[in-house]
Structures are given as C-alpha cells and as structure tokens.
Structure 1
C-alpha cells in the first residue's frame, strides 16, 4: 500500500479526481468529513446512547456522544503527530502532492468521531440482543431463507458494519450517504471483511466484520481506490486495514481504558485509591506532586491523572505506529498498537477492574436485562409486521405498527434479507430512551 492512494479525497459519485494541492486550505475535504458527521442526525442520537452506564442520570458519566467527541480529540492528536513524522519520512507527499501533517489528524479525527455511529441502544449488549433474536429467538425461523453470510450478518449484528452502512448508503435525497472521503471511510473500517468466515486468523483485522452483504460492493470500490491489499481466500471478501485505522483504534482504546475507569471512580464503583495504584506507572514521570496535592475533590484529582495518562499513551502509540509503519503498509503488523505498549500490564489491570467493578455492576447488569427485553420486543413486532405486509397478510395492528416507522425504512423490499436488515438498522438507530418509549407503547404500558 502507498500513502498517495491511501490519502484519497475521492467521494461517492465523483467523476474527476480530487487533488490535495487544489484544496481550499481554509476547509480541506477531510475537515468537511468531520463537519458532515457531527451535523448528521445519526451522530446526534449518540447523546442518548449508552457508553458504559445505561440510562444514567449522572451528569459526568459518558454517553456515546461524549465518548466519540473525546476519541476524536485524541485521534486528531495521534494523526497530527504521526503525520508530522510521515511527511518527514516521505517529503514528496507535501512537496509534490500538497499533503500536510494536519491532514492525517483530520482523517483520524473524522473516522474516530464516527466510530460508534452505528451502535444500537444499550451499548454492546444491544448488538448481542439483536444477534440473539436471530440465533435463538423468533428470528431463527428465517435462517433457511438467507445465504450463510446474510444470516451471519444478523446473528452477529455488528455496530461497525451498521456504521459503514450509515456513512455510505444512498437514500432518497442523500446519495452516497454522508459522502465522506474514501480516506476517512477506509480509516473508519476497523474490520475490512465480511461476516464469514469468522476470525479466520489471529490478525486484529479479523476480530469482527466491517460491512454487511448489502454494502459489500461499496467497500470493494473504496478498497480498490485506496489500494488496500486483498486478503480474502476462496472468493471471501477481506482486505488489509487502512494504516490510519490503527490510530483510530488506539484513540478508542486509550479513551475507554482510562475514561471508563474514571467514570467508575466518580460513580463510587471504584475506590479512588485504585487510581494512584493503577495509573501511577503511566504518569510517574510527569506528575507534579504539589499540583496533585492541591486538588480538593476526587473528580479533580482523577481528571488530572487521566489527562497525564492519556498523554503518555498518545505519545507511545505514535512511536509504535511509526516504528511499524512499513510493516503496516505491507500488512505484516497484526495487532492493535496498544498491544505493543510497554504499559500493557497496567492497561490490562485497569480494564480488568473496570470489568469487575463497572461493566458487571448491578446497575449495568439490570439495565442490560431491560435492553434485551426491549430490543427483542421491537424486533419481533416490526419484523412480523413488515413480513406480513409483504405477504399480503397484514392485520390492522400490523398496519398501525408500520405507520410508526420513518420513511427511511422501506417495507416493500422484495428480498427477505433486506427487510430483516432494514428493521435491524431502524432498531439500532434508536436512542435508549426512544427504544424504551416505543416498547412501552407496544406493550400498552402507561407512561
């Protein structure tokens, strides 16, 4: 792979090539990507979607929206620092093509901003709830009507693939989705493969999948433009990652490792003493003891340690990326950047205590149970109504249910796969509160 192709400014529907040296420096194409994402309705819905604590009423607990904004800030810094070193290594990118160090930051920031845009309500349990409806719930009856890969799309419903669909899929009045640059779309796709085969190798890019069967052709077009290395065997579609995806992933890993830990402490689920015990090795070379001791509140002390820890991990992630950049371009680097961190033991300790004290806390578990019930009911109700209408057997109740769907959901798709996927996309688009409201209406619960 080469950076000239990987930094493509092309957008869906372009007939002419977009050249970096012809861009308006006041608002280059990669920055337009960021703006289009942040003004999209799908991004706004993240303000009421779970990051860790579902339906939390606490002001300082992160939602998917605040998490995404923070990941984009960290991603911008990672991209700019890496971009500076890449321009020094490949000066022709700037001298001949006009690329600047900040372009790398803009691409990573935009991709990082969108990284959770396809996630369903109720966090990762929402993905599992959709999948289990088709694996073991009423949706299992459709297995024989789908190809193995179509069925796997539903059984392992993936927020990353749903995000790619949102960003790229045309709909009435919005051709090409958000019409982002191919560079940003490439950097966004953490798992550039289809749902089968599952985890064919231990490569980090094979951990999950990144696009539905319905959007495979769109990704193949993007991969061709970017020059991504094809990895698929036996006609399976799989590609090497866009190199900047490693920085997007690092930004997410840094934020959820440190900030979910911070949330747990601020909520009282993790004792403050753990912060020093687990973070001190990340910050000991930078901490100002006098400044730390002057901070009066737990929230301020943890905020100070968090900022230092994030800065430490940013600098190390960039160093690992640059040291392995040639291997990444050849697709011989197979792990996440932080898996090579000298602080991996501390990172794992922080994640493990967050799992035991936060992710598996009573509050989280109880609300994830609610999420399963809500999502299963919504899928069962809407899938039944849409299929009954297509088959000409819709009841008056089915018609009432269908009237609650937005115009973006096409109920008369001839392919069963597209009808089922359309319902999943709709349910995934709902905020936590909206999903519960519709559930109550379906159940006739007073509110």
Structure 2
C-alpha cells in the first residue's frame, strides 16, 4: 500500500521555517504563523500584489474580462506549486510565497510594456522584471514602520533571486543587496523555488492555450500539430464525441496540466533518488536542478511554445495592441524623464533623493538616479492607470 503524499511529513531536503537564515532586519517571530507563512501573507497584502489584478499578460485589460491577468495567473501558479510541493514533501508555504511574488515586477501591458521599458532604460542600467520584483519586495513597498520593502526571509529572497538558476553576473542592485545579505547567488535555489519556477511554466503554457482559443487567435485543429496536445485532444474527443466547444477546451487543458504535473513529479523523484540529498543545503550544493520535466516532455513543451509564439503572441491582433502599449510606455518614460515635476509629489521626492545619492556616489549609482525612479513608477502602473495617464498628458482635450 503506497503512502498518501498529503499525509507524509516533510522530506529531508525541504526548507524548514525553524531553520530559516532569518531576515535582513531582525523581528520577533509570530506566535501563530511560521516565517514562510508570514512571507506569503506580506506578499498578499502588498500594494504591488493588488495591482496585478489590472496587469495583463497577452490581452490588455479592456479587451475582455474573461482573460487571465497577472493576478489570476499568480493564483494558478500558487495552486500548482502547492500541489507539487505537497506531493514531494516540500514546504508548501514557501513555494506558495514564491509563486505569488514571482510577477510583482511586471510592467503594465505584459511583455510589450517590459520591452518598451527595457529599451528606454538601456542607457540607464537596464530593466528586467525579475530584478524589479526583487526591488519591490526589498525597497519599493513602503508599508512598515521600521524598514523599506517586506523584509522577507532569506529563503524567499533567495528563491526570487535565482529561481531560474544560479546568477554568475547579477545585476548591480542585486549584487549590492547581497553585500548586506548574502543570497549565495552562485548556487541553485531550494527545491521549493525550483517548483515555483516550473509551476509558472505549466500555468502559462496551458492558460495561453485556453485564452488563445477563446479569443479566436488559435483553432483547435492547429493544436494537433503539437504531439502533446494532439494526444490529449484526441482522447477527449473519443471519450466525449459530442462535447460542446467550451467544455472540450477546458477538459483538454485540465488534462494537459495533469500530464505535465505527473511528468514533473516522476522525473523529479528519479533525480532525487539518484542524488539523495539529505538536507536543503545539500540539495542546493548539487550543482544541478532536481525539479525538472523529462527530456521527452521538454521537447514537447518547446513545440507547444513555438506554436503559441507564432499563433498567439505574434498574431496581428496582438501586434496591433502591443505596438500601442509600447508607445504608451515609451512616451510616458520620455515625458517623466524630461519633466519629473509631472510626477506625483512622493515620486518627485524620490527623484530628488536618487539624484542626491547619484551625485554623492557617481561610481556606484549607475542607473539609480532619475531614470530608475521613473522606471519604478511606470513599472508599478496598471494597464488602466497607464492608459489614463497617457491620455491626460498627451490628449489636449483630456481633463486633468
């Protein structure tokens, strides 16, 4: 009789809150919540998390209410990450916190907004949504009396910084943070962080199929060119020959998620049995990830991504929308950079502080002056706020 993973205790390689390396700013522990539960709760209560409701991935918010937003995507990632962590005996709270925080640094208008902001910041230290998420949780959230940011645990910050693998050349702001609180960027992250990263892949691959079909950017027959999807779609149609289209889509997507989850669990268990890490530290020191898809699944996933890129992300309807989004972000950046007095008072004060810091330390403040503050401000906007700000600033007939 096999044991029920829902009732199993933590694996030896799981992160344990009692063994946490702590926080940058020391705090008394909670009497009712573990350290990782507190991290998750702080993320959920963050202003940046609430804004995800009005930040989109592929479709701008007013294109339709049914499509995923960054918030609904993050919740789906968290659900998958918790399920995977439970099956593997990992810490569910840490995996959930990482899943909920992973998109906090995204700009308005999804990848279109990020492309525009990255180009605008090319001469000012660059822009990357992963680095921005780290800035949000360590600097930009201004809620607590005793520190900036959320003061998350070492394990959560480590997972955010290197959930995609070791960082040999970290961006300047992350490198400076690690001088104060070393996140050991040269090693792999915890198993919980690896789970959150692949839960993200599972979620967005499948919900982009769902949204693409419902938006009319994809047709079901096109998906038959992807072996992974074709197998599932054929099985659903054989089992339910008269199923209406909406139910057919949902049944196909839910089974695809199940297949990818099962493959990941099988491959991860194989790697764990081979490596036999006896602690979270030993797992980090392996020099390779342990949470992974099989090679067969990775090849099938690449084929699916290519189709989504060609038929969804580069569809002419999406291109029309993204060029508009890029122009909005680009023009807002140029105006605020030239006229910071058009920023709200608090952000004007941030510009003044940043420029004073850059003047005092010109060698170490590259990208941390006015342009960085403007990028922080724009990155924090929702789709709706960015469109309204652009209209007020560039439409002569708009009421201020």
Q: CA deviation at 1:345?
A: 3.1
Q: CA deviation at 1:288?
A: 9.0
Alignment match of 2:247 (pick from 296, 300, 307): 300
Map of 1:353 onto structure 2? 307
Instruction: Point out where structure 2 has 5 or more consecutive residues left out of the alignment.
Output: 1-11, 278-282, 359-366
Map of 2:320 onto structure 1? 366
Distance 2:206 2:99 in 1: 17
Alignment match of 2:372 (pick from 421, 432, 443): 421
Distance 2:39 2:349 in 1: 22
Q: CA 1:321–1:303 in 2, change beyond 3 Å: closer, same or farther? A: same
Q: Secondary structure at the match of 2:288?
A: coil
Matched residues, number: 365
Distance 1:12 1:423 in 2: 27
Contact 1:49 1:123 in 2 (8 A): yes
Distance 2:316 2:40 in 1: 37
Contact 1:281 1:346 in 2 (8 A): no
Q: Is 1:54 equivalent to 2:13 in the alignment?
A: no
Structure 1 length-normalised TM? 0.72
Matches within 5 A, 1:150-165: 151=124, 153-154=125-126, 157-165=127-135
Contact 1:12 1:176 in 2 (8 A): no
Query: Residue deviations 1:257-308, cap 9 Å, x none?
Result: 1110111111111112345664456648986954x34532x22211111111
Map of 1:254 onto structure 2? 202
Matches within 5 A, 1:23-422: 24=32, 27-83=33-89, 101=90, 104-135=91-122, 140=123, 151=124, 153-154=125-126, 157-169=127-139, 173-174=143-144, 175-190=147-162, 204-206=165-167, 212-224=171-183, 228=184, 231=186, 239-275=187-223, 278=226, 279-280=228-229, 283=232, 289-290=238-239, 292-293=240-241, 295-296=243-244, 298-325=245-272, 326=275, 329-333=284-288, 337-338=292-293, 340-386=294-340, 399=341, 401-403=342-344, 406=347, 409-413=350-354, 414-416=356-358, 417-419=367-369, 420-422=371-373
Q: CA deviation at 1:112?
A: 0.7
Q: CA deviation at 1:346?
A: 2.5
Query: Residue deviations 1:356-384, cap 9 Å, x none?
Result: 11100112111211122111211112222
Structure 2 length-normalised TM? 0.80
Distance 1:356 1:182 in 2: 39
Contact 2:188 2:288 in 1 (8 A): no
Contact 2:162 2:188 in 1 (8 A): no
Q: CA 1:331–1:428 in 2, change beyond 3 Å: closer, same or farther? A: farther
Instruction: Point out where structure 1 has 5 or more consecutive residues left out of the alignment.
Output: 84-100, 141-150, 193-203, 232-238, 387-398
